[in-house]
Amino acid sequence: MHMQKRYPGTCNAVKFNKIQDNPMQKITMKLPLVEMDGDEMTRIIWKLIKEILLEPYIDLKTEYYDLGLEHRDKTDDQVTIDAAEATKKLGVAVKCATITPNAQRMEEYNLKQMWKSPNGTLRAILDGTVFRAPIIVDSVKPSVRTWKKPITIARHAYGDIYKNVEHRAEGAGKAELVFTSKNGIETRHTIHDFDGAGIIMGMHNTDKSISSFARSCFTFALNQGQDLWFSTKDTISKKYDHRFKDIFEEIFEAEYKKQFDDAKIEYFYTLIDDAVARIIRSEGGMIWACKNYDGDVMSDMVATAFGSLAMMTSVLVSPDGKYEYEAAHGTVTRHYYKHLQGEETSTNSMATLFAWTGALRKRGEIDGLDDLVAFADKLEAASIRTINEGTMTKDLAALSEAPEKKIMNTENFLREIDRRLHQ
């Protein structure tokens, strides 16, 4: 299966009209971004964004890695590892949405094996934490009427229930938690004496992973200039959850307290149920750090309450300050197959566009390129203005309270943003 067949309209297969009378001089970059291409409709959008909104204005420098599923399969997924290592070297990356294959995808793409999630590989190599925040537009009102500012969810993406071990007890018996140290000392705790059938689950985490999570959260909060909240259930989980609380507190006091005081931002710990109540009553504007399962649930809750997963940004931050930006959503398979049939699509491009602007802004901040930072700001403002003025994709039209709505197809929506860049 050839790439041009799978992805018509990408690479050299399609040409777009040149933007005439460009009032902006091209911005010169010092160092490249790591660019990770992806799959399906988001791959199409990726190319459109570059062609329409980036390359006319920036002398775009990227170190390119094709993380499309076919190329991952061809390289035995080495390309994902290479992209992660490049991110460690260059410090800033931008990633298109990618397919995590299941059995159906195995057959569809004739894969050698069911490759791991690229996002999981990147998180593991970078030892990073995922931060997700909504894109706010005036015409799409949050379901929670008090929310006025974005709420960023920081999810600890290691361990807990996602690396659990489960057992089905078919009848009566004794379940024990057993730990054998390297020197052979055995510690046992009774979980439960079953008088009939039941279920058992064991899960774990590591001090190292929790410490990396804490440092990523504190670093990101300082970078954003926002308060950091952290929540567990340490009153019930007096060793497991309490260890999270203790590590956060120890690292904060030893490494970050003065920086937080100087930045006039706060680190705040509370129980997870209290955090939910406080968040619902708040105006937003904070970073909310959660354990793995809590972050999984709460990120979807926040995304839905603010409007749409298609309006959710995502950035992976390592403890040593490496950044990888991407959209929070998937590859938009349904629209992609419509595209392959030659049908018009109206796919929301905002999260993918904001992945690019986030990466370009960070590249500009690190390299001292004020014009690159300003361009990223201007492009985001133009995209939000486009929606607020009533021009949007079909999914947003269903959510927007704008008095007059003009629904655009995928490409024309981006061209409407470009038109406002010139205004």
- Residue 131, token pair as written in the block: 């931060």
Q: Tell me the pLDDT band of 66, cut-offs 50, 70 and 90.
A: very high
Lowest mean pLDDT among 18-32, 100-114, 285-299: 18-32
Rounded Cα distance between 114 and 414, Å, is 34
What mean pLDDT comes out for the span 281-298? 94
Lowest mean pLDDT among 33-47, 114-128, 348-362: 114-128
Q: How high is the pLDDT of residue 1?
A: 32
Rounded Cα distance between 409 and 392, Å, is 9
Check: CB of residue 80 under 8 Å from CB of residue 67: yes
- Residue 162, token pair as written in the block: 């996602």
Rounded percentage of the chain residues whose pLDDT exceeds 70: 94
Task: Order across the sheet with 33-37: list the strands.
Answer: 62-66, 33-37, 92-95, 323-327, 312-317, 129-134, 152-155, 287-290, 228-232, 267-271
Q: Tell me the pLDDT band of 23, cut-offs 50, 70 and 90.
A: low
Flag whether pLDDT at 73 surpasses 80.
Answer: yes
The helix or strand, by DSSP H or E, that contains position 58, with its residue range, turns out to be: strand 58-59
**Amino acid symbol at 17:** N
Flag whether pLDDT at 202 surpasses 50.
Answer: yes
Query: What residue spans of 1-39 are helical by DSSP H?
Result: 3-6
Tens-digit pLDDT profile for residues 248-266: 999 999 999 999 999 999 9
**343 DSSP β-pair partners:** none
User: How many Cβ atoms from other residues are within 10 Å of residue 377's Cβ?
Assistant: 14
- Residue 155, token pair as written in the block: 């999810």
Check: CB of residue 389 under 8 Å from CB of residue 413: no
Rounded percentage of the chain residues whose pLDDT exceeds 90: 72
- Residue 229, token pair as written in the block: 């909240």
What's the Cα-to-Cα distance from 324 to each of 131, 277, 317, 318, 343, rounded to whole Å?
10, 31, 7, 9, 32
Q: Tell me the pLDDT band of 24, cut-offs 50, 70 and 90.
A: low
Residues of the chain with CATH 3.40.718.10: 1-137+310-423
Check: CB of residue 45 under 8 Å from CB of residue 347: yes
- Residue 239, token pair as written in the block: 């060793």
Q: Is 16 left (phi over 0), alpha (psi -120 to 50) or beta?
A: beta
Mean pLDDT, the chain, whole residue set: 90
What mean pLDDT comes out for the span 170-199? 96
- Residue 22, token pair as written in the block: 């460009």
Flag whether pLDDT at 11 surpasses 50.
Answer: no
Rounded Cα distance between 129 and 228, Å, is 14
Nearest to 143 by CA among 268, 300, 314: 300
Flag whether pLDDT at 63 surpasses 60.
Answer: yes
Flag whether pLDDT at 314 surpasses 60.
Answer: yes
Flag whether pLDDT at 10 surpasses 80.
Answer: no
Rounded Cα distance between 359 and 363, Å, is 6
What mean pLDDT comes out for the span 43-50? 96
- Residue 65, token pair as written in the block: 């890695």
What ranges make up the beta strands (E) of 243-362? Answer: 267-271, 287-290, 312-317, 323-327
What SS3 state is found at 309? helix
Residue whose structure tokens are 């680190």: 267
Domain 1-137+310-423, what architecture?
Answer: 3-Layer(aba) Sandwich (3.40)
